[in-house]
Chains A and B, each alone.
Chain A
Amino acid sequence: MLNIRVLVIDDSHVARRLLVSQLRELGFKDIVECEDGAVGLEKVHESRKTNKPFGLILTDLRMPKVSGADFLLMVNADPESKLIPKLIISVETDRGTVLNAVLQGADGYILKPTTTPVLKAKLDKLMSQKKVAS
């Protein structure tokens, strides 16, 4: 799991840097960051062209240009990218918002800011679910 490429999308520098440092703490080395869903989509397309696909995507919901929910919708339109596990990390606690994110293809949801043990537990669960499904 630690050798996979991870894409982190969040418009907040602080949230992004915190998340990246937590991922590094968990042993992830190849982490790509970007600030909104539009750039995130470009990164996903680029990764496929260069044959360096992402194995995990973590995205915020409320972002400028392309929101997290729209990003999920667009990225999941591609059958190959649909298989990448995707986790929402957001301050949104509204049930409808969470449900909508799940409907758009998120595999999990974490309320931010999160702690490293919580993130690890969620990622372990997510990866094992994806492994079983594939």
Chain B
Amino acid sequence: MATAKPDTSLHVENFEGFTIVRLPLQPRLAQITVCVQTLNDLAAKSESFMFVDLGKSVSVGAPELTSLADGIATLKAKYAVEIVLLSEPSLTEVLKQSKLAQVTRLFERQGEEKRILNTKKVLAVNTNNLHVRLEATLDGAIQVALQRWIGQAPRSVQSAPVAINPATDVVSVVEMHVDGCLVQVFLSSAQSTLRAMVAKILQSEISVSDPAVTDGACELLNYLTAFFKQQLSAQNSVVDAQAPQLLQAEEMMAILDVKLPARRVQTALGSFDVWLGTAA
């Protein structure tokens, strides 16, 4: 009786930014799944990574996969990707959360130092790439958000080194997780500008002490975030955003006396600044 030939093909699927490679080699190894971070969109930006074509299944011949270690080595060599190993329950958790930052934490818990470093490397590249993508879509988002918020397009949007004046400026921030990376979008504006903008929206004069003045910064940031989310979703990114918050005095200390690389948005009612922060 002929023995059934083991299935040695690698089953590749894409799930919310992760490439999942399953190795159904032997019963013992069938429980092991390899999770490869998607590097498609990083390839253009990075010299150190190549990418796996996610749209197609790939297969590696049986002689190449005599063990899991060989399989991983083959994948690494053939596709030049960073690979992390996850047991099935962990993988389920990762997929559920779908955040690379959590993959990092998962390995920190397991104390696998080498893999932490690998994952962090991927995360750093991913973050840099994301920053480039966000910067590229920032102007578009500003245009649409401002048009919606006060019904006027900006007069100009220019790069400018910006310093915060805590006596007159209102700074708000929104935290987003984009494909697992923490991204902060900051918005800063003089109280007088916000007051003019909000008065225009409400079609009535408001006082400086009106809570609508500071709320205006959060609301404008809310619209900006909405259009970021929209544009990033169109690029198949997974975005989870919190509600915008005003930066508290102690949080503002960290950005005082710093020249922030911001986009300065000039409007008919004054100007405001927007800049991005990312944390790996």
Contacts and interface: CB of A to CB of B under 8 A. Distances in A.
Given A12-B218, A94-B229, A94-B233, A18 B202 contact: yes
A27 interface: no
B13 interface: no
Interface string B211-225: 110011011001101
A62 interface: yes
B243 A11 contact: yes
Interface residues of B, number: 22
B159 interface: no
A113 B201 contact: yes
A63 B225 CA distance: 14
B223 A14 contact: no
Nearest to B242: A62
Contacts of A13: 210-212, 215
Given A62-B243, A113-B148, A14 B198 contact: yes
Contact of A15 (B203, B219, B230): B219
A64 B198 contact: no
B209 to A, nearest CB: 12
Contacts, number: 42
A128 interface: no
Contacts of B215: 12-14
A1 to B, nearest CB: 24
Contacts of A70: none
Contacts of B241: 62
Interface residues of A, number: 16
B149 interface: yes
Interface in B221-237: 222-223, 225-226, 229-230, 233
B212 A17 contact: yes
Contact of B149 (A11, A92, A94, A113): A113
A15 B230 CA distance: 20
A91 interface: yes
B243 A14 contact: no
B202 A14 contact: yes
A13 B216 CA distance: 8
Nearest to B197: A14
Contacts of B198: 14
B173 to A, nearest CB: 15
Contacts of A92: 226
Contact of B201 (A11, A14, A62): A14
A47 interface: no
Contact of B222 (A17, A21, A91, A93): A91
Contacts of A93: 226, 229-230
A100 to B, nearest CB: 14
Contacts of B230: 93-94
Given A18-B201, A21-B202, A12 B219 contact: yes
A91 B226 contact: yes
Contacts of B210: 13
Contact of A17 (B202, B223, B226): B202
Interface in A15-69: 15, 17-18, 21, 62-64
7 cross-chain pairs, A with B, having the tightest CB-CB distances, nearest first = A91-B226, A13-B215, A13-B212, A12-B219, A14-B219, A14-B212, A13-B211
26 contacts: A11-B243, A12-B218, A12-B219, A13-B211, A13-B212, A14-B198, A14-B202, A14-B212, A14-B216, A14-B219, A17-B212, A18-B201, A18-B202, A62-B241, A62-B243, A63-B243, A64-B243, A92-B226, A93-B226, A93-B229, A93-B230, A94-B229, A94-B230, A94-B233, A113-B148, A113-B201
